[in-house]
Amino acid sequence: MQRIAQDWLVLSELTKHSGTAVGVVMALQFGPPILLMSLAGWVVDHVDRRKLLIVTQSAMALTALGLGILDISGHVALWQVYVFAGTMGCIAAFDSPARQTFVAELVGDADLPNAVALNSTLFNSAQLIGPAVGGVLISIIGAGWVFILNSVSFVAVITSLMRMRVGEFHRTPRVVVPGGGVFAGLAYIRQRPELIMALVMLFIVGTYGLNFPVFISTMSITTFHGGAHLYGILSSMMAVGSVLGALHVAGKTAPNLSFLTLSALGFGIVGTVAALMPAAALFGLFLVALGVTTQMFTTTANSLVQLSTDPSMRGRVMAIYMGIFLGCTPLGAPLVGWIADAYGPRWSLGVGAAAGFIAAGIGGIYQIRARKIAERLPK
């Protein structure tokens, strides 16, 4: 609901349907994880993750509350939204890797792939409900009150974190690694080709393919001439596919690079077809399929990276992972927003689909070469 309200506030109230402005907001919100991943990785590997999450979730609640008060009072300006988006991005730089690695503390490595997938299912179930409700609430009470509702919702999250039975956690010894933050993580990744490939593929798809606020908002308004209600419905339809994709991956016990490559290929194919759809209803149906392939790709990448990483390095490696996952999308957001403004939303979505094809090609070439090298080795 927060995301829908923020995008709608920028797109329809503070600008004249500027996809570029939405892209800038995304850049400010998702860029800090790249800049802060060194510090964030070190912090996540050295502090109590549950306590860190209580701090970050409380800070996010205050940020949503502040933006809501500004909007309701009629004093909100575009630059203020930029500031709040940047602040949220700085908080998320610490919150995201902490949440991802905290899953392993709750269930242990044996159940980690299933837990990551089910966590994604819950997240996307919220995305399924949130946009639809958010779209309706924006038209009834305005974006400001949606921000306020979001700030109140953090009370449940913080209370849950405080009431957890800490003695039942699956914690591993914290090992001090010389060099500390991101440099130790990069050195660790450099020695593992599969990790490199997974992160490279995530970088390509994340930079150009995961800009869905730009794709869906501009398609809703410019191409199909709809309003907040249509934007919310289309976002929810994609979330339906995301839930289905996460449930599918939850049944797989061993994430691998082959499945990641096939998911990227599927993303490219479905994204291309979705960009060509002539009506909102058909576009929405293919958004469901796009949600499936997107979730299959991102959930598999998450599980593959975590399970391929030693627990003592997981915080630093996942900080790099989340820096790419959250931080590289804004690198492409201004470009795809500009393409949507200059050439139309369909071309913008086409660029995202092309990223899937490129990532699949890279993953496929690596696996072919790795297979040939393996065949040459003495048995």
What tens digit of pLDDT does each residue of 133-190 get?
888 888 888 889 999 999 999 999 999 999 999 888 887 665 555 555 557 777 888 8
Q: Which of the two residues, 160 and 38, has the higher pLDDT score?
A: 160
Tokens representing 359? 């990532």
Express each pLDDT in 274-323 by its tens digit: 999 999 999 999 999 999 999 889 888 888 888 888 877 887 888 788 87
Q: From the centroid of its chain, how far is CA 372?
A: 34
CA atoms 327, 117, 310, 255: torsion sign: negative
Fold that domain 2-163+181-374 belongs to in CATH:
Growth Hormone; Chain: A; (1.20.1250)
Looking at the chain, the whole-number percentage of residues with pLDDT higher than 90 is 33
Q: Where are the domains of the chain?
A: 2-163+181-374
In the chain, count H helices and then E strands: 17, 0
- Report the predicted TM-score, pTM, of the whole model to 2 decimal places: 0.73
Give the Cβ contact number of residue 98 at 10 Å: 26
Using CA atoms, how far apart are residues 336 and 369, in angstroms rounded to an integer? 33
120, 327 Cβ separation under 8 angstroms: no
Q: What is the pLDDT of residue 362?
A: 95
What Å distances lie between residue 303 and 32, 112, 127, 156, 251, CA to CA? 23, 7, 21, 27, 13
Express each pLDDT in 310-365 by its tens digit: 877 887 888 788 878 776 777 788 888 889 888 989 999 999 999 999 999 999 99
Does the pLDDT value for residue 8 go beyond 60? yes
Q: What is the pLDDT of residue 69?
A: 94
Which amino acid appears at position 294 of this protein?
T
**CA atoms in the 13 A half-sphere facing the CB of 231:** 30
Q: What is the pLDDT of residue 148?
A: 94
Helices 112-141 + 143-162 axis angle, to 10: 150
Quote the mean pLDDT of the chain. 85
